[in-house]
Amino acid sequence: MVQRHLKLVYLALCCSLASSAVGAYLHVMLNIGGLLTFIGCILSIGWLFSVNAYEERKRFGILMGVALLQGATLGPIIKAAIDFDSSILVAAFAGTALAFGCFSAAAMVARRREFLYLGGLLSSGFSILLLFQFGSSLFGFSETAFKIELYYGLVLFMGYIIFDTQDIIERAHSGDLDYIKHALTLFTDFVAVLVRVLIIMVRQMLHPSVLCNTCF
């Protein structure tokens, strides 16, 4: 039962990534991404959680809509990367997919509940990230603050991949088989990591010294 649930979760995740790619493509072609698509994405997520769990087809369609709007929202970043060097986008996606697969596999083969203790630490870490972003918006952004936020967020969401994967497995054991909701959780983790990897790679291409500075 759990294995079948995980297959559905990862199938829905793959469909979400494909839908997100379509959204990014639409922005590149039509320049539709921005504040409106971001608000639409947030509202769609709220709509998804308000729909009855038995309306599977409707909820799956809403999930695809969320992914499409998310892709359009990220369109400006993706377009900038493509305009600079399209190979960066391919490398960033491949690296994120590899890291996501490795961390998910680690959570699957680990002992049950082994990584669930990370929940409290990650929640605290996410609160710190929000406070850091709020402080930066008040006192102004600096190069150092941006780099700290970028790499700290990357490590944080890597941890969320492990925790969320094992949490989904435990919820499946407990009878929670809402694969659409679980796919949305993993999709959010994947996108959060991808954006940060993409930004890091672009910055390194623009400023080669950044790579040397991060090695120490």
User: Any residues with CB less than 8 A from the CB of 70 and at least 6 apart, and which?
Assistant: 20, 23, 41, 187, 191
> Quick one: pLDDT at residue 211?
38
Give yes or no for a contact between 186 and 13, defined as CB atoms under 8 angstroms apart: yes
pLDDT > 80? residue 139: no
The two three-digit tokens of residue 49, written as one number: 């959680």
pLDDT tens digit string along 8-47? 999 999 999 999 999 999 999 999 988 999 999 999 999 9
Residue 172, domain extent? 2-213
| CA-closest candidate to residue 164, choices 180, 184, 185 | 185
Number of domains present in the structure of the chain: 1
Q: Is residue 208 pLDDT above 70, yes or no?
A: no
Answer for the pair 205, 84: CB distance below 8 angstroms, yes or no.
yes
Mind listing the pLDDT tens digit for each residue in 62-120?
999 999 999 999 999 898 888 888 888 999 999 999 999 998 998 888 777 777 777 88
Return the DSSP state at 111.
P
Token digits of residue 195? 């954006």
Report d(CA 211, CA 61) in Å as an integer: 41
Please give the pLDDT value at position 106: 86
Instruction: Return the pLDDT at 215.
Output: 37
Quote the pLDDT of residue 207: 52
Q: Per-residue pLDDT for 158 more than 60?
A: yes
Whole-number pLDDT of residue 141? 64
Position with higher pLDDT, 194 vs 120? 194
Whole-number pLDDT of residue 23: 96
| pLDDT of res. 209 | 41
What pLDDT does residue 113 have?
Answer: 72
